[in-house]
């Protein structure tokens, strides 16, 4: 399987998901949540994702956390965080954020050359802030509306705009562009397991906090989404050993049209 075939299949899958979402959304009743007009479809996908997580992803992530030393897990998290900083740099440039772009540039260079390819997060020790950006946010900066809430198969909560952005994010991520297919698939799998392992405590909180997991997860996601696009205050650093939903500080407010 070549990288081109993989991306083509991903595009077809994402397109089919969006079409099905809109078709299902047309059948929603007058009592539909205005923030979630595609709720029937979203609940179906959420239940599917939850089943896959319970059966496969969470057990693997739990085993990974149990058998892998914390120092090694931190190195894995830092490595993928360094790769994400490079894509954040590109999006900060596209959003005309020179200070954030400069910080991202120095984070990548410092962690790559002094942090053993990103295994050590030297940049954070040097107090260089992290500014996480993706192409969905870039689209929002240029005035593209978020659109309705949308749950993607396996990928989870999103919006219509951010779902489109995810396709570009995949192309911009160095892991996904690795030419060696076994290496690429291994890195993608390791990143997914490491991310899920870092969110195990958040998942347990979700299990205990709400009788309706879907509504709770949706409301938390939308609240975080509004805080990012509305420029709400945030912690100074984002790390993958914390829930990914914590944005970096110092990010300029996005336009109100988002």
pLDDT digits 0-9 by tens, 101-133: 999 999 999 999 999 999 999 999 999 999 999
Q: What is the pLDDT of residue 1?
A: 43
- Residue 140 belongs to a domain: yes
Position 254 pLDDT exceeds 90: no
183 band by pLDDT with thresholds 50, 70 and 90:
very high
Q: Which residues constitute the domain of residue 146?
A: 3-24+36-230
Q: What is the pLDDT of residue 11?
A: 47
- Residue 246 belongs to a domain: no
Backbone angles phi, psi at 181, to 5 degrees: -60, -50
* Other residues' Cβ atoms within 10 Å of the Cβ of residue 117: 13
% of the chain exceeding 90 in pLDDT: 63
Position 50 pLDDT exceeds 80: yes
Closest CA to 246 of 216, 191, 202, 213: 202
- Residue 258 belongs to a domain: no
Q: What is the pLDDT of residue 208?
A: 74
* Other residues' Cβ atoms within 10 Å of the Cβ of residue 114: 12
Name the residue with tokens 């809109």. 22
- Residue 151 belongs to a domain: yes
- Residue 242 belongs to a domain: no
Q: CA distances (Å), 123 to each of 15, 109, 130, 170, in order?
A: 38, 9, 9, 25
* Other residues' Cβ atoms within 10 Å of the Cβ of residue 141: 20
Residue range 225-254: mean pLDDT, rounded:
46
Position 143 pLDDT exceeds 70: yes
pTM for this predicted structure: 0.77
- Residue 239 belongs to a domain: no
- Do the Cβ atoms of 167 and 14 come closer than 8 Å? yes
- Residue 238 belongs to a domain: no
Closest CA to 78 of 54, 51, 114: 114
Mean pLDDT, the chain, rounded, equals 82
Higher pLDDT, 255 or 190: 190
- Residue 257 belongs to a domain: no
DSSP 8-class letter at 55:
I
- Tally of domains in the chain: 1
């Amino acid at each position: 399987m070549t990288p081109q075939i993989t991306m083509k299949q991903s595009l077809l899958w994402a397109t089919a998901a969006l079409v099905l979402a809109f078709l299902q959304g047309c059948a929603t009743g007058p009592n539909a949540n205005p923030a979630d007009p595609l709720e029937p479809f979203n609940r179906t996908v959420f239940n599917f994702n939850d089943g896959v997580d319970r059966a496969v992803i969470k057990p693997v992530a739990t085993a990974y956390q149990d058998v892998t030393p914390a120092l090694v897990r931190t190195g894995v998290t830092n490595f993928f965080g360094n790769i994400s900083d490079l894509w954040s740099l590109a999006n900060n440039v596209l959003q005309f954020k020179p200070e954030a772009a400069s910080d991202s540039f120095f984070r990548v260079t410092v962690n790559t050359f002094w942090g053993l390819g990103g295994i050590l997060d030297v940049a954070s020790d040097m107090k260089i802030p992290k500014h996480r950006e993706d192409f969905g946010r870039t689209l929002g900066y240029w005035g593209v509306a978020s659109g309705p809430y949308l749950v993607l198969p396996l990928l989870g909560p999103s919006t219509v705009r951010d779902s489109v952005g995810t396709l570009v994010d995949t192309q911009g991520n160095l892991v996904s562009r690795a030419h060696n297919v076994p290496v690429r698939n291994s890195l993608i799998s390791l990143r997914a397991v490491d991310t899920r392992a870092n969110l195990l405590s958040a998942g347990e909180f979700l299990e205990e906090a709400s009788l309706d997991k879907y509504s709770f997860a949706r409301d938390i996601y939308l609240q975080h989404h509004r805080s990012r696009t509305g420029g709400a205050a945030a912690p100074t650093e984002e790390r993958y050993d914390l829930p990914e939903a914590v944005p970096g500080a110092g990010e300029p407010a996005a336009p109100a049209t988002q």
